[in-house]
Amino acid sequence: MLPRVPVQPRRIEQYRGIADQEVLEEIRSLARSLKGARLVHVNSTAHGGGVAEMLYTLVPLMESVGLQAEWRLIQGDQDFFTITKLFHNALQGMDIPITDEMKMKYLAVCEENASHFDGEYDFVIVHDPQPCAMIAALEGTVYRKAKWIWRCHIDSTYAREDAWSFLKAYIDRYDAVVFTMKDYVKSPLAVPHVAFIMPSIDPLSAKNIIPEKRVQSDIARRYGVDENRPIMLQVSRFDPWKDPLGLVDCYREVKKKHQNVQLVYLASMADDDPEGWHYYQKTYKYSAGDPDIFLLSNQQGVGNVEVSAFQAMATVVLQKSLREGFGLTVTEAMWKRKPVVAGRVGGILLQVEDGVNGFLVDRIEEAAEKVCLLLESPETARRMGDAGHEKVRRDFLCTRHLLDYLRLFRRLTT
Ligand code: UDP
């Protein structure tokens, strides 16, 4: 058996009054027709990154509406995760050739994990490239009787041809695939069902409940951040696509005008992302001992409550991504009524309406200019924050996400 990730129960009724009533009603009616369906989500990490974040909510919510839902993890060694991160980077357009050696190692680990796959399911939902090829090793077995769904969370618009075509041979074996945006489907797929589903946040998770003011102050003090001075915040893994060095450049531009500004960068080191420490070191060096730059991670005890507290204390939230499958951190900040200054890329375009609930930027100077504008105009910041909150309530809550999954399950069974 692949190891199972334990999750805390959730009840769909808890979302009454937060999510739209029509959404809850449709969930109830669809769930009735899917009652008892067995499903498993498979991915490569229970910590760090957006996929794990969402599964902690979606899995218990699926259970709460009458499905039998599980979450299981594939296992891999350091080499495997280095290779899958290279795939990830190549799929996001980085110039990384995919060698035969990489393919062989990747396939061997997928096969090994497939040999531990067990259990009877109606739906198997495989997240991202790491476990994608497992399906090939299970062709012809009883496990393949389930409907297999591949859920891609990354921005593959600019995928390198070799990486995409290698993976496509496996994607094409699925019964359905799910992308966040149409643009991410690099070339036509031979899959019967292609769906587009946007990610979501859980308004009731520790990540999204705003801690009391006193708790916020304690957290700021613990990390040496001055909550009475402006805070520019970015919450992301240390990853080239999150542009940590560009973020420091942006802060330096802002600092020329606003000497009291601080930059807080919160990162979680994901188990399946071996690049984290390398980019942390690079960013640390680049910060050159600036006492107003705070690079903090889960290693220093930054967990959900701390992330939420800093998002609540931030004056402006940045997401200076160069590629972004979706950017849950943007959604989380908008939910907390924060104006966001974010790269004009990928899934961020689904969330940030330029000039309405935040600003979309292409260049560092432009990002700095928008941050200055928001520091100088709290009224604009407040108006944008309110608009962002309502946008998330309408479009990016876990209840809508659950509904989209139920609709897909129905499509696959009728
Ligand atoms: N995150 C966190 N602690 C950190 C950094 C990130 O909990 O120190 C969470 C963040 O709040 C968000 C997720 O990790 O929920 C990142 O998801 P996103 O879609 O922004 O990016 P990904 O890492 O999936 O590319």
Atom of ligand 1 nearest to the CA of 266: 8
User: Alpha-carbon distance 231 to 336, whole Å?
Assistant: 15
Q: What is the pLDDT of residue 195?
A: 98
Q: Tell me the pLDDT band of 33, cut-offs 50, 70 and 90.
A: very high
Among 72, 69, 97, which residue's Cα sits nearest to residue 83? 97
CA–chain centroid gap for 387, Å, is 22
Contact 132, 167 (CB under 8 A): yes
Name all residues whose Cβ lies below 6 A of ligand 1.
Answer: 49-50, 53, 207, 235, 237, 266-268, 297-298, 302, 307, 326-329, 332
Q: Tell me the pLDDT band of 274, cut-offs 50, 70 and 90.
A: confident
Atom of ligand 1 nearest to the CA of 48: 14
3 state SS of 264:
strand
CATH number of 12-200+397-412: 3.40.50.2000
Q: What is the pLDDT of residue 182?
A: 97
Q: Is the per-residue pLDDT at 268 higher than 90? A: no
Q: Tell me the pLDDT band of 48, cut-offs 50, 70 and 90.
A: confident
CA–centroid distance, residue 332 to ligand 1 (Å): 9
Contact 276, 238 (CB under 8 A): yes
Q: Is the per-residue pLDDT at 272 higher than 90? A: no
* pLDDT tens sequence across 293-305: 999 999 999 999 9
Once rounded to an integer, what is the mean pLDDT over residues 106-119?
A: 98
**Average pLDDT across the chain, whole number:** 97
Q: Going by CA atoms, what residue is nearest to atom 10 of ligand 1?
A: 329
Delimiting residues of CATH 3.40.50.2000 domain(s) in the chain: 12-200+397-412, 213-395
CA angle 227, 231, 233 (to 5 degrees): 125
Q: What is the pLDDT of residue 270?
A: 77
Q: In this structure, which amino acid lies at residue 118?
A: D
* pLDDT tens sequence across 358-413: 999 999 999 999 999 999 999 999 999 999 999 999 999 999 999 999 999 999 99
CATH of region 213-395, choose from 3.30.390.50, 3.30.200.20, 3.40.50.2300, 3.40.50.2000: 3.40.50.2000
Pocket test for ligand 1, best of 57, 239, 296, 328 (most atoms within 8 A of CB): 328
Once rounded to an integer, what is the mean pLDDT over residues 24-47?
A: 97
* pLDDT tens sequence across 161-194: 999 999 999 999 999 999 999 999 999 999 999 9
